[in-house]
Structure 1
Amino acid sequence: MNSETTESATRLKGDLSLLSVVLFGLAYISPGIVVTMFGVVAATSGGVAPTAFAVATLAMLLTGLSYAKMARAVPGAGSVYTYARKMLDSRIGFLSGWAMLLDYFFIPMVGWLITAIYFHAQFPEIPKWVWLVVSVGITTAINVFGMKLADRVNKVLMFIALGSLVLFATLCVVFLGKHGSSAPATDALWNSGTSIGAVTAAAAIAAYSFLGFDAVSTLGEEARGGARTIGRGIIGCVIAAGAIFIVLSFVMQLVHPGAKFADVDAAAYHLKVQVGGTTYAEIINFVTIAGSIASCIALQASAARLMYVMGRDGALPKAVFGNLSGKTGTPVLNLLLTAAAGVIAMKLDLTTATSFINFGAFLGFTLVNVCVIAHLVRERGHGRTPHLFSYLVMPAIGAAVSLYLLTKLGHVALQIGGVWLAIGVVYLAVLTKGFRRPAPEMTFDDDTATTDRVTA
Structure 2
Amino acid sequence: MPSTSHQPSTGSHLPRTLGPLMLWGLGVGYVISGMYFGWNLGLAAGGTYGLALATLLIIVLYITFTFSYTELACAIPKAGGVFDYATRALGKDAGFIAGMAQIIEFVFAPPAIAAAIGAYFHIFFPQVPVTVIAITAYIIFTSLNIYGVKAAATFELVITILAVTELLIFAGATLPHFEFRHIQHNAFPFGWKGVWAAIPFAIWFFLAIEGVANVAEEAINPQRNVLLGFGSALLTLIVLCILTFLSSVGVAGWEAIVYPSPGAPPSDSPLPLALEKVTGSSGWLYHLLITIGLMGLVASFHGIILAAGRATFEFGRVKYIPQAFGSIHPRFKTPANALLINMVIGIIALLTGKTGQIITIACFGALTLYIFSMITVLVLRKKEPSLPRPFRVPFYPYFPVVALIIAIISLIAMTTLNIAVALVYFGILVISYIWFHFFVKQSMHAAEINNN
Tell me the TM-score range normalised by the shorter chain: 0.7 to 0.9
Match of 1:261 in 2: 259
Task: Select the residue among 339, 346, 355 that pairs with 1:338.
Answer: 346
- After superposition, the C-alpha distances for 1:97-124 in whole angstroms (9 at most, x for unaligned) are 111121122121111122234346x47x
- Matches of 1:376 and 1:145 in 2, distance apart? 39
Higher mean C-alpha displacement, 193-202 vs 324-333:
324-333
**Aligned-partner SS, 1:315:** coil
With over 3 angstroms needed to count, the CA separation of the structure-2 counterparts of 1:300 and 1:29, relative to structure 1, is: closer
Match of 1:453 in 2: none
Pairing 1:130–2:132 present: no
Deviation at 1:167, TM superposition (A): 1.3
- Matches of 2:364 and 2:253 in 1, distance apart? 29
With over 3 angstroms needed to count, the CA separation of the structure-2 counterparts of 1:270 and 1:357, relative to structure 1, is: same
Deviation at 1:312, TM superposition (A): 5.1
Cα RMSD, aligned residues only: 4.2
Using the size of structure 1 for normalisation, the TM-score is 0.75
Match of 1:196 in 2: 192
Match of 2:378 in 1: 373
- After superposition, the C-alpha distances for 1:177-221 in whole angstroms (9 at most, x for unaligned) are xxx46x254x28x93414233223323322132234324445488
With over 3 angstroms needed to count, the CA separation of the structure-2 counterparts of 1:72 and 1:102, relative to structure 1, is: closer
**Aligned-partner SS, 2:187:** coil
Task: Select the residue among 247, 262, 268 that pairs with 2:243.
Answer: 247
With over 3 angstroms needed to count, the CA separation of the structure-2 counterparts of 1:394 and 1:309, relative to structure 1, is: closer
Match of 1:445 in 2: none
Pairing 1:278–2:277 present: no
With over 3 angstroms needed to count, the CA separation of the structure-2 counterparts of 1:399 and 1:243, relative to structure 1, is: same
Q: Is the 8 A contact 2:203 2:363 kept in 1?
A: yes
- Matches of 1:11 and 1:400 in 2, distance apart? 37
Using the size of structure 2 for normalisation, the TM-score is 0.75
Q: Is the 8 A contact 1:362 1:406 kept in 2?
A: yes
- After superposition, the C-alpha distances for 1:100-150 in whole angstroms (9 at most, x for unaligned) are 121122121111122234346x47x959x9313322134325634895498
Pairing 1:348–2:321 present: no
**Aligned-partner SS, 1:278:** coil
With over 3 angstroms needed to count, the CA separation of the structure-2 counterparts of 1:145 and 1:233, relative to structure 1, is: closer
**Aligned-partner SS, 2:280:** helix
Match of 2:58 in 1: 56
Q: Is the 8 A contact 2:43 2:254 kept in 1?
A: yes
Alignment of 1:95-114 (within 5 A): 95-114=97-116
Match of 2:7 in 1: none
Percent identity at matched positions?
A: 18
Give the total of aligned pairs. Answer: 413
Flag structure 2 segments of 5+ consecutive residues without an equivalent: 1-9, 261-265
Q: Is the 8 A contact 1:54 1:242 kept in 2?
A: no
- Matches of 1:75 and 1:304 in 2, distance apart? 16
Q: Is the 8 A contact 1:57 1:238 kept in 2?
A: no
Higher mean C-alpha displacement, 251-260 vs 301-310:
301-310
**Aligned-partner SS, 2:268:** coil
- Matches of 1:214 and 1:142 in 2, distance apart? 20
Flag structure 1 segments of 5+ consecutive residues without an equivalent: 1-5, 441-456
- Matches of 2:355 and 2:77 in 1, distance apart? 40
- Matches of 2:155 and 2:233 in 1, distance apart? 25
Match of 1:423 in 2: 431
- Matches of 2:331 and 2:72 in 1, distance apart? 41
With over 3 angstroms needed to count, the CA separation of the structure-2 counterparts of 1:195 and 1:174, relative to structure 1, is: same
Deviation at 1:270, TM superposition (A): 1.9
With over 3 angstroms needed to count, the CA separation of the structure-2 counterparts of 1:25 and 1:295, relative to structure 1, is: closer
**Aligned-partner SS, 1:316:** coil
Alignment of 1:168-207 (within 5 A): 168-176=170-178, 180=179, 183=181, 185=183, 187=184, 191-207=187-203
Which residue identity does 1:422 align to in structure 2? V
Deviation at 1:82, TM superposition (A): 1.6
Alignment of 1:266-415 (within 5 A): 266-279=269-282, 280-289=285-294, 292-293=297-298, 295-300=300-305, 302-303=307-308, 306-307=311-312, 309-311=314-316, 313-318=318-323, 330-331=336-337, 332=340, 334-344=342-352, 346-349=353-356, 352-378=357-383, 390-409=395-414, 410-415=418-423
Which residue identity does 2:135 align to in structure 1? V
Deviation at 1:70, TM superposition (A): 2.8
Higher mean C-alpha displacement, 51-60 vs 37-46:
37-46
Q: Is the 8 A contact 1:362 1:403 kept in 2?
A: yes
With over 3 angstroms needed to count, the CA separation of the structure-2 counterparts of 1:324 and 1:84, relative to structure 1, is: closer
